[in-house]
Structure 1
Amino acid sequence: MFGDMMGMMEKVKVAQKKVEETKKRLDTVYLNQASNDGLLKVELTANRNIKKIEIADELLEDKEQLEDYLILTLNKAIQKATDVNEAELSAVAKEGMPKIPGLT
């Protein structure tokens, strides 16, 4: 029984290490999102760190319009990054978890 428990604990440690490695790797996965008309472009990592924002000159003329564009485009970008992040971390965690009767 204790051998099984030790084996499970080791698998959990390995899974935790893989999750941490995946988190680091997701810092290198870049995603792009643009407004529908392409006047605003955002680049961020799968860990939801914004790396670049490109704004067309015509958007700089209307503060309210620019704010709307930023809100819509950033929310889409963050959602896209969140989806990638959660899928990757879930897959790694699920892969490394030990099979526990009644929980699988």
Structure 2
Amino acid sequence: MFDKLMAAQQKAEEIKKRLDTISVYGEVENGLIKVTATANKSITAIHINEDFYKENDVEAIEELLLTAINKALTQAEMVSAAEMQNATKDMMGGLGGLFGGGR
């Protein structure tokens, strides 16, 4: 039983590491502002087109930047949830013996 729990914990760590390698994006205004994040919801890059930056006021840029960040984080959440759901299916299959389901 302990071995299966340790394997589940190791699998969770592997998923976390894999999520760090997956990039997701949020962009607005056809890519004039683009935010890159990992699937672990860590922002890794922000790009604002220089001309767009010069032609707009700070308030508009800040609002669009927040929108792009939230889009990236939403994408990260979706990828993370899908990865966790797949891992949970795998782990539950392997833990079936703990609950009397496997022999």
TM-score by length of 1: 0.80
In the alignment, structure 2 segments of 5+ residues that lack a partner are: none
Secondary structure at the residue paired with 1:47? coil
Counterparts of residues 64-75 of structure 1 (less than 5 Å): 64-75=59-70
Quote how far apart the aligned CAs of 1:101 are. 5.3
Provide structure 1 residue ranges, at least 5 long, that are not aligned to the other structure: 1-5
Aligned residue runs from structure 1 range 1-104, under 5 A: 6=1, 9-57=2-50, 58-60=52-54, 61-97=56-92, 98-99=95-96, 100=99
Coordinate RMSD, CA, aligned: 1.8
1:3 maps to which residue?
A: none
Q: TM-score, normalised by structure 2?
A: 0.80
Deviations 1:28-69 (A, max 9, x none): 111122114221011111111111100012234411111111
Give how far 1:74 is off. 0.5
Q: Identity of aligned pairs, percent?
A: 39
Aligned in 2, Cα 1:16/1:94: closer, same or farther, shift over 3 Å? farther
Runs of at least 4 residues of structure 1 off by over 6 A?
A: none
Higher mean C-alpha deviation, range 78-87 or range 33-42: 33-42
User: What SS does structure 2 have at the residue aligned with 1:66?
Assistant: helix
Q: Which has the higher helix share?
A: 2
Verify the 8 A CA contact 1:31 1:45 in the aligned structure 2. Answer: yes
